[in-house]
Structure 1
């Protein structure tokens, strides 16, 4: 093992999504050095990879902020603490040592640390695809599972399928640039934030969005990779064709914990069980925050993940600086270390 691939730090953070990035800041405020590992080749996690232009409405002090902008701000906030990023590599091994833990990746990187914070979201992810014949022929040309640039869909006839936050939020957003937006769902109720659903209802009344309910996808029409229509069927199998240039199926993500499932941590239904007070896992010195962590009353919100990052950092401080008693101070009075 070359020295270039071997590192030593205070805390390894697994996952460079919004919660992992904020954990860098919280650790830095407590004078703990961090290395961050993420399987993606960029920071930001799902925010950057799946919905960089999707507005997020529940970040304090931001009535609305796009995913990419949120990541930029979090990375800027973390930057003064000089985190070392190991991107495009997956953590494969987590081994106990006398001094703490040794983290190994599939690229041969080895990092020794006194504590580990797992902020891996829900592991590796990919879209749940609808079971439609000929789907692959239109992927990337007429069928997309995420929206990276809203402007790419300007002037298009768009069919959005799904009943969750992604379907509702993108129907609201794309209605501003598309020629026509149709939302296909098997029932009139949506599993989305009430305010977003209210906004969608208003757009429907204004004629800017068309509801296709209760229907579900049944087929595709087009030639040479060019989508011209989407077939939908009601509960009695009566079909009709929606003229469309684009289909956006939002049926959630297929999750894969990957190596995390083999690390010997107490799990429940694909999530890591933690102590709600400290975010500590069943393995001393390992903490879990964000969507992958579970405890009674858990809310899967980014803002809750931010709070968990602060709590985990404070809990890890005793392992990194055992001889230093931590007296909590507000950032307004403490300022940035070295500032």
Structure 2
């Protein structure tokens, strides 16, 4: 017998996790499927970065924020699967059949797409032998600042992530140099100025062309860079190499021909602020969804999620209220509120 869910969320980043919480709040039988082994999405790439732009929330480290999102997502005990990649979606009568790379089939009345920018695969440094240094001092993300204390660091890339890392690492490193292949950096002007003020050395029209190992061949010791305009090159000793060239968008999720979902830029699904797409029964939230007035911030992601879940609720139950009752008056939290208050009183005593 098929185990059919009211909604299956594809994607376990902020949009997917908040959708899981909100769909439980609305009494929907919920499943979340994430291709990576860990939940958290893109926030996992910046575990030690502070997140400031969430209303009413003090600055929080990315790592802690993910833990809080996961705890919130589990409030109403949804089914959560990690390390499971959905490859193909088709309709079987009135339900969707989601086929995974693992050979499983999951059944759902609706689908909520929350896959963000796609499966996160950093664009690698295309130099021969570069991959062998990934276990030592070649990095595609910064998991911990501690290893960079007092080091000479080179960062390849000119986007927001590269310059953010440059600013934050300059405070603890011996030196930070940013090389970027284009003429001008693509990061926000204020962040660029902050990097300059901090003493980060910035070299545009410059790329890393060669990596030279130390004597035991276990780590990079020398980096050769070349200026594309002057054709001049130099080699310098370095302790750590960070590459921030962006991420590949793997849009491998395929729908049967009868399921039509218009796209923008050949990846993002066009829809409405209510989370609806052109295909009845398929909704979207977060970065994967485009519509007029879209807010590309976490606060916008959470609004997307709530709107999409509310649309799913009324799609499945046309007579249901459009929005959930606010948490302060919602019966779903009655017992949970009592338990939290009792624990707080016990601490006071």
Superposed pair shares fold, TM > 0.5: yes
Classify the TM-score, shorter chain.
0.7 to 0.9
State the TM-score, normalizing by the size of structure 1: 0.88
The alpha carbon displacement at 1:194 in A equals: 4.2
Asked if the contact 2:263–2:270 (Cα under 8 Å) also holds between the matched residues in 1, the reply is no
Q: Which residue of 1 is the match for residue 292 of structure 2? A: 296
Asked if the contact 2:7–2:28 (Cα under 8 Å) also holds between the matched residues in 1, the reply is yes
Q: How many Å separate the matches in 2 of 1:110 and 1:246?
A: 44
Q: How many Å separate the matches in 2 of 1:189 and 1:55?
A: 26
Q: Which residue of 2 is the match for residue 251 of structure 1? A: 245
Q: Which residue of 2 is the match for residue 144 of structure 1? A: 139
Report 1:77-226 matches (<5 A): 77-186=72-181, 189-204=184-199, 209-223=200-214, 224-226=217-219
Aligned length: 330
Asked if the contact 2:120–2:249 (Cα under 8 Å) also holds between the matched residues in 1, the reply is yes
The alpha carbon displacement at 1:279 in A equals: 1.9
Is the aligned partner of 1:238 residue 2:232? yes
> SS at the partner of 1:114?
strand
Q: Once structures 1 and 2 are overlaid, which stretch shifts more, 84-93 or 264-273?
A: 264-273
Is the aligned partner of 1:45 residue 2:41? yes
Q: Which residue of 2 is the match for residue 275 of structure 1? A: 271
Partner deviation per Cα, 1:104-144 (whole Å, 9 max, x = no partner)? 32224333222110001122231212332332332221211
Change (3 A) 1:229 1:169: same
Q: How many Å separate the matches in 1 of 2:15 and 2:273?
A: 17
The alpha carbon displacement at 1:98 in A equals: 3.7
Q: Which residue of 1 is the match for residue 67 of structure 2? A: 72
Is the aligned partner of 1:314 residue 2:316? no
> SS at the partner of 1:241?
strand
Q: How many Å separate the matches in 2 of 1:292 and 1:326?
A: 23
Cα RMSD, aligned residues only: 2.4
Q: How many Å separate the matches in 2 of 1:84 and 1:139?
A: 34
Is the aligned partner of 1:29 residue 2:25? yes
Q: How many Å separate the matches in 1 of 2:49 and 2:323?
A: 39
Structure 1: any 5+ residue segments left out of the alignment?
none
State the TM-score, normalizing by the size of structure 2: 0.85
> SS at the partner of 2:65?
helix
Structure 2: any 5+ residue segments left out of the alignment?
336-349
> SS at the partner of 1:81?
coil
Is the aligned partner of 1:56 residue 2:51? yes
Change (3 A) 1:336 1:86: same
> SS at the partner of 1:228?
strand
> SS at the partner of 1:61?
coil
The alpha carbon displacement at 1:253 in A equals: 0.7
